Amino acid sequence: MEPVEVAVPGAAEIQELAAVAARTFPLACPPTATPENIAAFIDTHLSAERFAEYLADEDRVVLAASENGRIVGYCMLIRGVPDGDADVQQAVTLRPSVELSKMYVLPGSHGGAVSAALMQAALDHATAMSAASVWLGVNQQNQRAQRFYAKHGFTINGTKTFHLGAGVENDYVMVRRA
Q: Tens digit of pLDDT per residue, the chain (178 long)?
A: 568 999 999 999 999 999 999 999 999 888 889 999 999 999 999 999 999 999 999 999 999 999 989 999 999 999 999 999 999 999 999 999 999 999 999 987 766 799 999 999 999 999 999 999 999 999 999 999 999 999 999 999 999 998 888 888 899 999 999 9
CA distance 122 to 117: 9
Q: Which residues pair with 134 in a beta bridge?
A: 98, 176
CB within 8 A of 144, min separation 6: which ones? none
CA distance 102 to 82: 15
Q: Which pLDDT score, from 0 to 100, does residue 150 have?
A: 97
CA distance 42 to 39: 5
Q: Which pLDDT score, from 0 to 100, does residue 110 have?
A: 65
Single pTM value for the model: 0.94
Q: Does domain 5-177 have CATH number 3.40.50.720?
A: no
Per-residue CA distances from 81 to 10, 124, 127, 131, 163 (Å): 27, 19, 16, 11, 17
Cα three-residue angle 176-119-100, rounded to 5 degrees: 55
* CB-CB neighbours of 139 under 10 Å: 19
CA distance 170 to 46: 20
